[in-house]
Amino acid sequence: MNKSSLSVPLDSSPLPLDDSSDRVSPVILWHKKTRMAAVESKRAKLWGGRFVGSTDPVMEAFNASISYDKKMWKEDIQGSVAYAKALLKANLLTETECNNLITGLEEVEKEWEAGTFSIQPGDEDIHTANERRLKEIVGEVGGKIHTGRSRNDQVAVDMKLWLRGHLVDISSHLVNFIQVLLERAENEKEILMPGYTHLQRAQPIRWSHWLLSHVWPAVHDLERLTGLYLRVNVCPLGSGALAGNPFNIDRQSLAEDLGFEEATENSLQAVSDRDFVVEYLFWASLLSSHLSRLAEDLILYSTSEFGFVKLHDAYATGSSLMPQKKNPDSLELVRGKAGTLTGNLCGFMMVMKGLPSTYNKDLQEDKLKLFETAEVLAGVLQVMAGTVQTLKVNADACRRALSEEMLSTDVAYYLVKKGMPFRSAHEKAGEVVKLSESLHCSFSSLPLSELVKISPLFTEDISSVWNFEHSVEQYQADGGTALKSVNNQITRARKFLTNFSLA
Ligand code: ARG
């Protein structure tokens, strides 16, 4: 492509660069301003040395990541402070120079904290912006901070530091969500409801057992987070642009200084690695998919047709047209966000697939996905915890939804316990279902005289089977819906939470 069609030909500009004249048309003024900004930004570029002319303004905006990577201002400064100390240790800075740099960096940090940091044209990304400001504050010596460092290892370390902090925050939201489920499971053990397969009534279960069925995936998500954290917690700083660090930087102590467990093994890999982002995006997608399934259950249970739960007004909305409506928007959004997050995962996998070795600018896309996912996930977890904590469960409606044909399996188990092989017992129980349908009679009202015609093993004690508590209490084996197992699950999940720690 013809370069001049894209770039602003600064050096051959026939236009005066001062805009004091009021005879100049607004269009020309606009051109002048754009050029002046371009001149400014060329002056400020970290890589300006070999370039002639300036970057096309559209390209400038296209290339910049400052609007979103400024989120990592703190981590960028943290990395630079540690790097200054490493440079001192390697005798590349004097004690005074190092102190000047650190004081300057602290100054920059204060500006971000106070909201007074002013982003300038040419501040392509957070690394460029912080270094530009550092040099303004400390002067020439500011140029030493980047000795042997590249934005390639810098951005990788910034992201890992940022993600590490986020994982700690998100884990506490996840722990809180699990605690909310456990609290309900503990307090509402007596409530029985239908368990479903294929959304058809299947067998009676405890409401707590259903709640716990959503606890365990979340517990596994926490377990997975521990593994992910370990892989995030490896320091890439000191890898340079790609080939490594030529200044004898002590990478192990640099890693330690930044709270990392260890330093990365290979500089080429370290600057190109975004597996930790992919893994986080997958982790977030899976967790949000778990939450979307809980949301879906609750959306169904909150319909008038089920009526098992009623959402608190704080987590529902109304209709602008139908005054009677109370919509489960919180849950629908949780369900929808699972799609958005999985889209981020797939989108970023597509960015990564087939990239050549080491750093390529494609990698800059990582932050858009990472930050969006992190923000959405924090919202999802908090909204879900609040929705579950505040909803009301209608124990009577749950009980009313239990119908006696849900005890058909129990009839088969009754016969099995009297010695009949399960296959024949299943057959006989089927005949009991048929009998109840043909007599238009519920199970518990079937005369024993009719039942014994199906099998002589039926005796008076069949009446104990017509009882939903009795039904759920059969499932005593670990993992079942009997009280004992529900209690065990609560104890085990609580123990997991007590022992859980990321760092
Ligand atoms: N803003 C860049 C990113 O996020 C920083 C690294 C730039 N490195 C480079 N060689 N252009 O990926």
Examine the domain organization and report whether 90 and 139 are in the same domain.
yes
The pLDDT, as a whole number, for residue 54 is 84
Query: Separation of 128 CA from ligand 1 center, angstroms?
Result: 10
Contact predicate 54/7, CB 8 Å: yes
Mutate to test the pocket of ligand 1, among 70, 155, 158, 271 (most ligand atoms within 8 A of CB): 155
The pLDDT, as a whole number, for residue 15 is 36
Residue 486 lies in a domain: no
Q: Which of 96, 130, 147 is the last residue of a domain?
A: 147
CATH value at residue 123: 1.10.275.10
Residue 497 lies in a domain: no
Q: Which atom of ligand 1 is nearest to the CA of 126?
A: 1
Residue 171 lies in a domain: yes
Question: CA 499 → CA 124, 181, 222, 473, 494, distances in Å?
Answer: 44, 18, 12, 30, 9
Residue 4 banded pLDDT, cuts 50, 70, 90: very low
Nearest protein CA to atom 3 of ligand 1, as residue = 364
Examine the domain organization and report whether 139 and 253 are in the same domain.
no
Examine the domain organization and report whether 384 and 281 are in the same domain.
yes
Residue 501 lies in a domain: no
Measured between alpha carbons, how far is 47 from 152 in angstroms, rounded to an integer? 13
Examine the domain organization and report whether 170 and 313 are in the same domain.
yes
Parent domain of 37: 3-63
Query: Separation of 212 CA from ligand 1 center, angstroms?
Result: 45
Q: Which atom of ligand 1 is nearest to the CA of 65?
A: 1
Name the 3-class secondary structure at 74: helix
Q: Calculate mean pLDDT across residues 185-205.
A: 98
For residue range 340-354, what is the model confidence (pLDDT) as tens digits? 999 999 999 999 999
Measured between alpha carbons, how far is 335 from 270 in angstroms, rounded to an integer? 35
| CA end-to-end distance (rounded Å), the chain | 51
Residue 500 lies in a domain: no
The pLDDT, as a whole number, for residue 19 is 40
Among positive and negative, which fits the CA dihedral 259, 264, 270, 274? Answer: negative
Examine the domain organization and report whether 135 and 164 are in the same domain.
no
The pLDDT, as a whole number, for residue 11 is 39
Examine the domain organization and report whether 82 and 230 are in the same domain.
no
Measured between alpha carbons, how far is 402 from 342 in angstroms, rounded to an integer? 36
Q: Which of 45, 63, 81 is the last residue of a domain?
A: 63
Among positive and negative, which fits the CA dihedral 253, 254, 256, 261? Answer: negative
Name the 3-class secondary structure at 305: coil
Q: Which of 400, 419, 453 is the last residue of a domain?
A: 400
Measured between alpha carbons, how far is 161 from 155 in angstroms, rounded to an integer? 10
What is the percent of the chain with per-residue pLDDT over 70, rounded to a whole number? 91
Number of domains in the chain: 4
Question: Is residue 299 over pLDDT 80?
Answer: yes
Q: Where is average pLDDT lowest: 41-45, 258-262, 360-364?
A: 41-45
Examine the domain organization and report whether 249 and 160 are in the same domain.
yes
Query: Separation of 226 CA from ligand 1 center, angstroms?
Result: 28
- Taking CB atoms within 8 Å and a gap of at least 24, the contacts of 9-13 are 9/53, 10/35, 10/38, 10/39, 10/42, 10/53, 10/54, 11/52, 11/53
The pLDDT, as a whole number, for residue 36 is 58
Residues designated as active site: 198, 319
The pLDDT, as a whole number, for residue 177 is 98
For residue range 37-70, what is the model confidence (pLDDT) as tens digits? 555 555 567 766 777 778 899 999 999 999 999 9
How many other CB atoms are there within 10 angstroms of residue 444's CB atom? 13
Contact predicate 73/107, CB 8 Å: no
What is the pTM assigned to this prediction?
0.89
Question: Is residue 265 over pLDDT 80?
Answer: yes
